[in-house]
Structure 1
């Protein structure tokens, strides 16, 4: 008998950490998904992950992302997970659509990157996150806010929708200041926001503009309530990031109440001997199941076949978000999350030690874990 060619799955990693790598739990979570589906007889063909990891925008270049996409096509992948960053996804969209060969599932937040071949499973979006963030700030008692927006494609998209979200919940904006999308001195920007002493600060952007904001606030002796987008998920990546986000409230996809996520972490721990209780492994469980189901249901097993199978996924319980979140795509549906609480608000404790659940768009959450 001739050997069976593996089904190749592409990973287009477009954001690398300070060591030039990416989270080890990503591939481990994806491998566990496909092993479980093989054990259940859902998808019997062997699977091979083809990874292209490059430094795209904001720290690197878009060209690296574009080249990585074409390299994955040359490797005969059937579906691509990535890119992750909106600025790369917006620029890559036309190349994906022109190729019309494989579907990309992106976690990027900009809806302008969605298309016939680009499916979104975003860690929030520029349209949704400001609504949740402003609602939580209002629930916390804020009546006035200053906005620090990263001076970038992402930041300006967020700024537009944040203005509307604040108006909808009755938050008065006292000032708006641009900040660089990379680490820089934030003292002038913070001083400008401090003139009117708003109840809170809303940061919008990718997140690399946050470092230094706490230090600048401490320097002038002003520490209002502070809110951010899913940039908050950087808090899960290192102690350094938790220090930068100490005291901040932001949007996240990890909710310890989610039973689907808890059961996956139980199995992950049994296999690997560690329990990574944060958003990435759960997100990868969700995107991994979407890809596995699409590969299993594709007729034929080709790029277009996988795209058609993705469009048939309905009501899949998600490990991400609050209990009740589900996954759903369709012929003209490219945003995969269902449910108003696919994003929750978490808070990093003042000492930077960990984050705790704070609330959702439906209200604040009373919990013994909140000090």
Structure 2
């Protein structure tokens, strides 16, 4: 086996903080950077004697969708491929993962995206599901049905993320005997949706759903508050933005889809070892699982060629996941490109700036 391997890290999530990922490295913190988690899990395998190769991490930054361009993502991806990496980790935004997927297939580059786009899978593109445009919508519909809701109003981003969520929400609502009474699309960057909110509330819904990337979610929340709406409101994993800035307070009372459960024993063990505060539970769960996928894939690879790493990832199976409800498993397979198996989505709610798990 080769003595060293290069891994590319494609960071495309600067929109979480509004920072510019094209700025020189070191001039600002990198939001959502998973480098430390990958290093941590590789070191754990070194200490166990299962891995002894040198690993070089190479970074590329892309101001991708929705605030940037698909071309920026493609440029960053090709930059990493040309640098000689055997594996790329990223992108993290669903729209950008869809851009990268055909590139992974064309360049025969093993890639693990950590986005919600189920369609961002292929022979060479693996998906670690930080949410799912398809699965989240089913959980949302079932949660609203459990609350006795029958007529939903939906405000969704006019983007591949928003429209994909809407398609699956509509399908599951029909199965459950619910009706989408009204739906209105907005810009993913919308800041004023008062008129849209007033319009959907005229349909007399008994539940409101927001679907999208989340940049426009605070505007939706403000508009509903001003209209006096006091019924249940729920959003997709856009609610994960509550871990940053003022989002949690701006969207107080919203149910949302998260990736961690307070009852997950694997997560609890990692949190205890790290002495991590409760507020970091999501970051710990996500980081641990992504890092472990990378480390285990390398350790199981026959060699560090791209073909060898792809085969190594396919051999990662049935590892306990820190994400999701207790019993969620982590791994891939010969024709399995979705990393998380089981009840990996968790309904939570933002209340007074804190996230609280909602009973299943």
TM-score range normalised by the length of the shorter chain: over 0.9
Contact conserved, 2:13 with 2:32, CA < 8 A, in 1? no
Query: Are 2:259 and 1:253 equivalent residues in the alignment?
Result: yes
Contact conserved, 2:271 with 2:281, CA < 8 A, in 1? no
Report what 1:344 is aligned to: 346
Consecutive unaligned residues in structure 2, runs of 5 or more = 21-28
Which of 220, 223, 230 is the aligned partner of 1:216? 223
Contact conserved, 2:157 with 2:163, CA < 8 A, in 1? yes
Which of 109, 114, 127 is the aligned partner of 1:107? 114
Q: CA RMSD in A?
A: 1.7
Structure 2 CA distance for partners of 1:106 and 1:294, relative to 1, 3 Å: same
Contact conserved, 1:147 with 1:176, CA < 8 A, in 2? yes
Query: Are 2:81 and 1:73 equivalent residues in the alignment?
Result: yes
Report what 2:24 is aligned to: none
Q: How many residues align?
A: 349
Query: Are 2:317 and 1:319 equivalent residues in the alignment?
Result: no
Contact conserved, 1:25 with 1:280, CA < 8 A, in 2? no
**How far, CA to CA, are the matches of 1:276 and 1:34 in structure 2?**
25
Question: Does 158-167 or 205-214 show the bigger shift?
Answer: 205-214
CA apart distance, 1:291: 1.1
CA apart distance, 1:328: 2.6
Cα deviation 1:335-368 (Å, max 9, x = unaligned): 11111x200000001x3x2010013xxx3xxxxx
Report what 2:12 is aligned to: 14
**How far, CA to CA, are the matches of 1:300 and 1:45 in structure 2?**
11
In the TM superposition, 1:47-58 aligns within 5 A as 47-58=55-66
Contact conserved, 1:26 with 1:281, CA < 8 A, in 2? no
In the TM superposition, 1:81-160 aligns within 5 A as 81-100=89-108, 102-160=109-167
Query: Are 2:51 and 1:43 equivalent residues in the alignment?
Result: yes
SS of aligned partner of 2:63: coil
SS of aligned partner of 2:249: helix
Structure 2 CA distance for partners of 1:154 and 1:79, relative to 1, 3 Å: same
Consecutive unaligned residues in structure 1, runs of 5 or more = 364-371
SS of aligned partner of 2:358: strand
Query: Are 2:262 and 1:262 equivalent residues in the alignment?
Result: no
Cα deviation 1:264-309 (Å, max 9, x = unaligned): 122233xxx7665332221121111111111111112211101011
CA apart distance, 1:183: 3.3
Structure 1's consecutive aligned runs of 4 or more residues displaced over 6 angstroms after TM superposition are none
Contact conserved, 1:32 with 1:268, CA < 8 A, in 2? no
TM-score, reference length from structure 2: 0.92
Contact conserved, 1:255 with 1:344, CA < 8 A, in 2? yes
In the TM superposition, 1:199-210 aligns within 5 A as 199-210=206-217
**How far, CA to CA, are the matches of 1:265 and 1:23 in structure 2?**
21
Contact conserved, 1:25 with 1:281, CA < 8 A, in 2? no
In the TM superposition, 1:213-362 aligns within 5 A as 213-238=220-245, 240-269=246-275, 277-339=280-342, 341-349=343-351, 351=352, 353-359=353-359
**How far, CA to CA, are the matches of 2:297 and 2:38 in structure 1?**
14
TM-score, reference length from structure 1: 0.90
Question: Does 19-28 or 128-137 show the bigger shift?
Answer: 19-28
**How far, CA to CA, are the matches of 1:80 and 1:227 in structure 2?**
33
Contact conserved, 1:266 with 1:275, CA < 8 A, in 2? no
Report what 2:37 is aligned to: 29
**How far, CA to CA, are the matches of 2:32 and 2:207 in structure 1?**
36
**How far, CA to CA, are the matches of 2:145 and 2:278 in structure 1?**
34
CA apart distance, 1:5: 5.3
Structure 2 CA distance for partners of 1:247 and 1:153, relative to 1, 3 Å: same
